[in-house]
Amino acid sequence: MEKKKKHIFIAGHNGMVGSAIARILSKDTSVEIITRPRSLLDLTNQQMVLDFFKDNKIDEIYIAAALAGGIYANDNYPADFIYQNLIIQANIINAAFISNIKKILFLGSSCIYPKFSKQPISEEMLLTGPLELTNEPYAIAKIAGIKLCESFNRQYGDSHGVDYRSIMPTNLYGPRDNYHPENSHVIPSLIRRFHEAKVNKYSSVEIWGTGKPRREFLYVDDMADACVHIMNIDKKKYYKVVPERCSHINIGSGKDIAIIDLANIIKEVVGYKGEIKLNHSKPDGTPRKLLDNSRAYELGWRSKYDFLSGLEKTYIEFVKVFNK
């Protein structure tokens, strides 16, 4: 008799992280991936989400769906960022519980931590200080998602077998990133700016801020690997490492780089020959964000991709999309 396949719903399957998770899971013959485009399933619609879960036998959920962006987008659309992210995650998690779905992996963001966190940032730094103001609404939504998972675990873990896990990725990059000229994160934004400057033979490219802030980056396939790894760890082993009231897990590369150095590397990858000009009138954001990944390491996960090779793969993918 053929073994029953595990039905896994990926929320946000067309996004950078969701599509990478799908690539990994598609190699597992014991898994059936379930997805829906936004046109058929609006995750901000509570009834649609509940009906979808009732109509489909789902065993696990990866919540990679989110409204995300860089400093400009966060600062200019704060209502969108807090509302849409709050309602998406609340709808999915609550409907999953009602539908007796016992396993969820919720993806947060390293911006949940205080602006001036002690480096590297451990999970225990959550809610110990003020957030970076430019992305505070997004961060608050993600913190709420962590606590929503935690609260369901505390209230229904023993009685209903609920096991809702959260992981906090550092800054991600890779295929299917958002290259919008204003709303993208730093790596896709710089790739686009340097590429357009090369094509149009601009003499210089402007970078926001002083160039001094330091950021940690992780290739998206490493993140997807971490997601699947963390989701599949035995429950007893998992909760020996993960505390009940601080249950999220940092996922990062363990290395950071100054923005100006990052810009120079991307300039080389793209092949741009002009100048880099720093606009000191623009905000820097958080001075430094380097995650303490010791909890993930204890659970047996390590990143694999080299930063430069990851950037080269990302640029090749960008050129293909940009030239369509």
Q: From 312, 12, 35, select the one nearest 174 (Cα to Cα).
A: 312
Total structural domains within the chain: 1
Asked, for residue 15, whether it belongs to a domain, the answer is: yes
Q: d(Cα 302, Cα 226) in Å, to the nearest integer? A: 8
Q: d(Cα 224, Cα 20) in Å, to the nearest integer? A: 6
Cite the active site residues.
138
How many whole angstroms from its chain centre is CA 178? 12
262-320 pLDDT, tens digit per residue, is 999 999 999 999 999 999 998 887 788 899 999 999 999 999 999 999 999 999 999 99
217-274 pLDDT, tens digit per residue, is 999 999 999 999 999 999 999 999 999 999 999 999 999 999 999 999 999 999 999 9
Q: Report the CATH number at residue 162.
A: 3.40.50.720
The domain of 112 spans 6-322
Mean pLDDT, residues 60-87: 90
Asked, for residue 111, whether it belongs to a domain, the answer is: yes
Asked, for residue 1, whether it belongs to a domain, the answer is: no
Asked, for residue 23, whether it belongs to a domain, the answer is: yes
Q: d(Cα 227, Cα 130) in Å, to the nearest integer? A: 28
- Is the Cβ–Cβ distance between 276 and 200 less than 8 Å? no
Asked, for residue 61, whether it belongs to a domain, the answer is: yes
Asked, for residue 162, whether it belongs to a domain, the answer is: yes
Asked, for residue 37, whether it belongs to a domain, the answer is: yes
Asked, for residue 167, whether it belongs to a domain, the answer is: yes
Output the CA–CA distances (angstroms, integers) from residue 77 to 72, 109, 238, in the order listed: 8, 18, 37
Q: What is the CA radius of gyration of the chain?
A: 20
Alpha helices in the chain, H assignment, sequence order: 16-25, 46-55, 71-76, 78-98, 136-160, 186-200, 220-231, 235-241, 259-270, 294-298, 307-322
